[in-house]
Amino acid sequence: MAELNMLEQWYYEVPPVTRVWTTAAVVTSILVQCQIVTPYQLFYSSVSVWGKSQGALMQYWRLITTFLYFGPLSLDFMFHIFFMSRYSRNLEESSFRGQTGEFAWLILYSSVSLLILSPIASMPFLGSPLSFSLVYIWARRNPAVRLSFLGLFVFTAPYLPWVLLGFSLLLHNTLPKDDLLGIVVGHIYYFFEDIYPRIRNGQRPLRSPEVWRRLFSARDVAA
């Protein structure tokens, strides 16, 4: 019982956006593992979502489920969930502390951008590049943080995305285009939120609209 209470406490300590995303990803993989749904019903397909073939349903849920499926329950799945939740939580608890609406807007911006860019790399599932965009933003905003890769060498946070890309290249002998697109999406956000305002008198083109901020204002004040 004590262990269950500790797990519950840890779960509710995770900030809201990261908690919802992680929970939905785990539930999605469990549903696939139990053969209640199949991966073929989850990936993003422009034809399935926007196609208008006779008698076909618009499968709008794919716009969301493509970001939730990280593969079947396995060690690889656990790695992806840990990686995603860790850096999403780090970002939500640091740069976006008390700004749930702004962080949710970042997730929305990144998701829409990846959906638009997905045909470039033929990406059916977009959870990994979405995670990578958050890793890139966190890394650029924490330049003094020192990290160790497998205990082999130490580097500062801004090099993290490139170290991960290099490791993936060595492991699979191919450059992960989906993660590269995640870096592109993350850099665009970083540029317009962190660099552009300094050269354009504080202008923030990617800031969330007022209506969006009001939806989350009560939660942010409480936090």
Q: What is the mean pLDDT of each run of 10 residues along the chain (223 residues)?
A: 64 88 94 92 84 65 93 86 91 91 95 90 88 95 87 87 86 81 95 91 86 74 48
The pLDDT score that the predictor gives to residue 34 is 93
The pLDDT score that the predictor gives to residue 68 is 95
Q: Which residue type does 122 have?
A: S
Query: Under a CB-based contact definition with an 8 Å cutoff, are residues 223 and 100 in contact?
Result: yes
The pLDDT score that the predictor gives to residue 222 is 47
Q: Which residue type does 196 have?
A: Y
Architecture of domain 2-222: Up-down Bundle (1.20)
Q: What angle do CA 193, 88, 206 make, to 5 degrees?
A: 20
Residue 161 to residue 155: CA distance in whole angstroms? 11
Query: Under a CB-based contact definition with an 8 Å cutoff, are residues 105 and 15 in contact?
Result: no
Residue 99 to residue 215: CA distance in whole angstroms? 11
The pLDDT score that the predictor gives to residue 121 is 75
The pLDDT score that the predictor gives to residue 4 is 55
The pLDDT score that the predictor gives to residue 7 is 66
Query: Under a CB-based contact definition with an 8 Å cutoff, are residues 137 and 206 in contact?
Result: no
* Structural domain boundaries in the chain: 2-222
CB burial of residue 53 (10 Å; 0-12, 13-18, 19+)? exposed
Tokens in use for 215?
Answer: 């939806």
* Locus of tokens 């650029």: 140
The pLDDT score that the predictor gives to residue 194 is 93
- Residue 127 burial (CB count, 10 A): 24
Query: Under a CB-based contact definition with an 8 Å cutoff, are residues 206 and 192 in contact?
Result: yes
The pLDDT score that the predictor gives to residue 110 is 96
Q: What pTM, to 2 d.p., does this model score?
A: 0.88
